[in-house]
């Protein structure tokens, strides 16, 4: 028995290309947002949990900060922002933009 409610849907190649272009643009924005949030973590840590350490440093001091160090600040706000970044990374890993 054939289901008469099923109809073939034709998708224009131009519409498909427009969709992929827009999706690619959105993913660029998502990446920029993610990068921007990540860049704020060190400043947030230095304004709160790492404040005493930060204030004891001389101008020009260099430090290598790892993601693990930032994840271990004990700052709940940074923890929640990392949850957002983790979700963004998951979504970025699952969305495919076709060439």
Which helix (DSSP H) or strand (DSSP E) does residue 86 occupy? helix 76-94
Residue 7 belongs to some domain of the structure: no
Residue 39 belongs to some domain of the structure: yes
Residue 81 belongs to some domain of the structure: yes
Residue 66 belongs to some domain of the structure: yes
Residue 36 belongs to some domain of the structure: yes
Q: Write out the DSSP string of 2-71.
A: --TT-------HHHHHHHHHHHHHHHHHHHHHHHHHHHHHHHHHHHTTTHHHHHHSPTT------HHHHH
- Per-residue pLDDT tens digits for 80-97: 999 999 999 999 999 987
Per the structure, the complete domain to which residue 51 belongs is given by 13-94
φ, ψ (nearest 5 deg) of residue 49: -65, -30
Number of domains in the chain: 1
Q: Tell me the pLDDT of the chain (99 aa) as tens digits.
A: 555 566 777 666 667 788 888 999 999 999 999 999 999 999 999 999 999 999 999 998 898 999 999 999 999 999 999 999 999 999 999 998 776
Q: How many whole angstroms separate alpha carbon 83 and alpha carbon 94?
A: 17
Residue 26 belongs to some domain of the structure: yes
Residue 73 belongs to some domain of the structure: yes
């Amino acid at each position: 028995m054939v289901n008469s409610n099923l109809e073939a849907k034709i998708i224009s190649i131009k519409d498909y290309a427009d969709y992929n272009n827009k999706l690619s643009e959105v993913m660029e924005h998502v990446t920029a947002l993610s990068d921007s949030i990540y860049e704020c973590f060190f400043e947030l840590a230095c304004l709160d949990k790492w404040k005493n350490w930060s204030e004891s440093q001389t101008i020009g001091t260099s430090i290598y900060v790892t993601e693990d160090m930032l994840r271990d600040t004990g700052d709940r706000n940074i923890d929640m922002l990392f949850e957002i970044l983790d979700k963004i990374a998951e979504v970025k890993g699952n969305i495919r933009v076709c060439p």
